Amino acid sequence: MLDLSLFLNYWIFNAYLWVIAGILIIIIEFVLSGEGTIILPTGLACFFIALLLTINNSNFMVNLKFEYATLHNILLLDNWVNILYWYSGSTIFIAIILRKILIGKNEEDINNY
């Protein structure tokens, strides 16, 4: 079990892996369905996680101090479980935003009588 946790820690903390996964997921979205509301939020969430990991691993984090906590304590990216929580939460948030943007523009609905 420890080997699995170490394996996941190695690969999930790699920001380049998240960028590659995001590019592949977005390409798959536009090849398969093209709507932009099904798989697209997961690809955009991959980019968001890569950004969080880059900020978390940079020296920029040392100089940012808030009143009671540093930004590193707020992000809580210390193990792979927290990264997956951030990934799932950002996927849901991006899906809701995209649904409001893409469907909100289309006022003509077949179900409106």
Cα–Cα distance measured from residue 22 to residue 53, given in angstroms and rounded to the nearest whole number: 14
Kindly report, residue by residue over 41-97, the tens digit of the pLDDT.
999 999 999 998 888 777 555 555 555 555 555 566 777 888 989 999 999 999 999
Structure tokens at 54: 């880059």
- Residue 14 phi/psi, 5° resolution? -90, 110
Rounded mean pLDDT, 23-45: 85
Please give the model's pTM, rounded to 2 decimal places.
0.75
Q: Is pLDDT above 70 for 106?
A: no
Q: For the chain, what are the domain ranges?
A: 2-105
Question: In the prediction, which pLDDT does 17 show?
Answer: 93
Question: In the prediction, which pLDDT does 19 show?
Answer: 95
Cα–Cα distance measured from residue 48 to residue 88, given in angstroms and rounded to the nearest whole number: 11
Rounded mean pLDDT, 3-18: 85
Question: In the prediction, which pLDDT does 100 show?
Answer: 83
Query: Would you place residue 98 in the very low, low, confident or very high pLDDT band (cuts 50, 70, 90)?
Result: confident
